Structure 1
Amino acid sequence: MEKVKAKKKYGQNFLKDTTVLDKIIQSMPNNNNYVVEIGPGLGDLTKNLVKYKDMTAYEVDTDLISILESKFAIEMKEDKLKLIHTDVLEAWDKQKTLHDDRYDMIANLPYYIATNIILRALEDDNCEHIIVMIQKEVAQKFTAYVNEKEFSSLGIISESLSIERRILFDVPPESFDPPPKVMSSILYIRKDMNKSIEKGFKDFLKACFMQPRKKLSKNLSSVVDKVFISKMYEELEINDNIRPHEVSSSLYSQMYTKVKNGRN
């Protein structure tokens, strides 16, 4: 088979290290959930996943679709694998979920849209587990805790919506072809299926972390006036010099409630 060249515009780096593929399979939750894969690439992970579960793979690249169709002709004929040729973010916009029943997302994500995909999966009511390979720096943001310098709105959102979140292991650049310029990590999130976040809270967090190294009060002043901020700080016993990464998720939640009620 001719060698397929990875396309920059789709952020493609094909995982070639079989030990990494095995470790991803070993980290799959032992449940009856369906599997959704995003960006199957040349199908190396797909080949392993489809042995265990029925699954859907979303692929945007037309050239790869034809390779995958011939590689998985049998699995597709037996309805074990459904291959969807589309941009996954557009699919989400249209249908709100990537599968009509409870599913786990397992994928080697294209780095340039990884953050968006994880945020969408966190919002998707049917997605329970997220096991994805992404840039280590991004994985750290999704697993960070208060007072860590990586702590941001991503950490707060994932903490608010999950039962468990951690980095399973790191994957060096040489495990890929072509090798990316960064270290990668496998991020694991198990969602709390009873929780959700309103859009207003996300917008509020965005404002709070607008300038992450500045004082939180400075960022907040784009949302509410200074008098309101000092009153709120007093009520919640917040130090005026506090920075955005030094405030816990639950305190952000309390602040948001006050801001929301103050506006109504």
Structure 2
Amino acid sequence: MSIRPKKSLGQHFLKDKNMIEKIAGAITAAPGDRVIEIGPGTGTLTEALLERFEDLIAVELDQRAVEMLEDKFPGLKVIHKDILEADFNELVAEKEQTHIIGNLPYYITSQILFLLLENRALLGDALLMMQKEVAERIVADIRTKDYGILSVQTQLMSSPEILFDVPRQVFSPQPNVDSAIIRLTFDKGPLECSDEHLKTVVRTAFNQRRKKLSNALKPIIDKKNLPEGFNFDKRAEAWEPSIYEKLTARLEEDGILT
């Protein structure tokens, strides 16, 4: 049984056995941990995961793929759902350690990434395959063109690390870009501020990244009320992630963000 990849779902199926083994081998899960695979598709990676982990759950949107997985792996728990609508409390079910693995569709990579960050308190880590360009933005250093919203939020909420590249030739159909495997380890603990307010501050700052922060942040803070202890003469890309967290916490304390 085989299925044709749907362009509307951004499907690109892994076909290279060596790469599949390399990805499966990069998961840090212990034998009793839960592993959740996002978008398993035809199950080529799923098969390698089942050889390693007893507690595996597959979350798949495509009904054709769900039927294929259930037929191919009778003991596998398959949830027919869009991962963006999944309840992570149910998926984790009070497990001590839960690990995410997924080959993310390019068109919703950011949405899935932010969903995982929102649920980071429930997760140990996430091993994600995504467009190489996006992975490089996540780990980017300050004062670089790649440094931006994804960099700040992901680095504040996890420890991201690119493990290795995945060439386009290992997929069917072959995408137009290369991919990378990135691991997000959720080891940072709670922020000093709320996630939502942090998003507001970071996105406002980078929406006008060529301006000084005193001007870029005007939709949130009037120039006359800029808190002391921050250099607002710099541009958004010059601030380390921790400064955005501190500023957001200060604005919450001062009642500017409520």
> TM-score scaled to structure 2, two decimals?
0.89
Change (3 A) 1:26 1:173: same
- Which moves more between the two structures, 17-26 or 41-50? 17-26
Following superposition of structure 1 onto structure 2, how do residues 126-165 of structure 1 map, counting pairs within 5 Å? 126-162=122-158, 164-165=159-160
RMSD of aligned Cα (Å) = 1.8
> What's the CA shift string for 1:97-126, capped at 9, x where partnerless?
632123100111111112211221122122
Q: Identify the residue that residue 249 of structure 1 maps to in structure 2.
A: 241
Residue 208 of structure 2 is aligned with which of 207, 211, 215? Answer: 211
> What's the CA shift string for 1:19-75, capped at 9, x where partnerless?
2111112211152421000100100010001111121111001111111111112xx
Letter in 1 for 2:201: F
Task: Report the alpha carbon displacement of residue 18 of structure 1 after superposing the two structures with TM.
Answer: 1.4
The size of the alignment, in residue pairs, is 249
Following superposition of structure 1 onto structure 2, how do residues 183-194 of structure 1 map, counting pairs within 5 Å? 183-192=178-187, 194=189
Task: Check if 1:11 corresponds to 2:10.
Answer: yes
Q: Identify the residue that residue 37 of structure 1 maps to in structure 2.
A: 37
Paired residue secondary structure (2:156): helix
Percent identical residues: 35
1:97–1:126 contact (8 Å) kept in structure 2: no
Alpha-carbon separation, structure 2, partners of 1:37 and 1:167: 19
2:156–2:188 contact (8 Å) kept in structure 1: no
Change (3 A) 1:181 1:56: same
Change (3 A) 1:193 1:247: closer
Following superposition of structure 1 onto structure 2, how do residues 1-264 of structure 1 map, counting pairs within 5 Å? 1=1, 3-31=2-30, 32-53=32-53, 54-73=55-74, 76=75, 81-92=76-87, 96=89, 98-100=91-93, 101=95, 102-124=97-119, 125-162=121-158, 164-192=159-187, 194-196=189-191, 198=194, 199-229=196-226, 232=227, 235-238=228-231, 240=233, 242-263=234-255
Task: Report the alpha carbon displacement of residue 88 of structure 1 after superposing the two structures with TM.
Answer: 1.1
> What's the CA shift string for 1:76-114, capped at 9, x where partnerless?
2xxxx210001111113xx55632123100111111112
Q: Which runs of 4 or more aligned residues in structure 1 lie more than 4 Å from their structure 2 counterparts after TM superposition?
A: none
- Which moves more between the two structures, 200-209 or 177-186? 200-209
Paired residue secondary structure (1:151): coil
> What's the CA shift string for 1:205-245, capped at 9, x where partnerless?
1211112333322220111112123xx3xx225151x2211
Letter in 2 for 1:249: P
Alpha-carbon separation, structure 1, partners of 2:247 and 2:216: 13
Change (3 A) 1:120 1:171: same
1:128–1:193 contact (8 Å) kept in structure 2: no
Letter in 2 for 1:98: L
Paired residue secondary structure (2:175): coil
Paired residue secondary structure (1:209): helix
Q: Which runs of 5+ in 1 are unaligned?
A: none
2:213–2:232 contact (8 Å) kept in structure 1: no
Change (3 A) 1:21 1:140: same
Alpha-carbon separation, structure 1, partners of 2:68 and 2:137: 35
1:136–1:185 contact (8 Å) kept in structure 2: yes
Q: Which runs of 5+ in 2 are unaligned?
A: none
1:14–1:176 contact (8 Å) kept in structure 2: yes
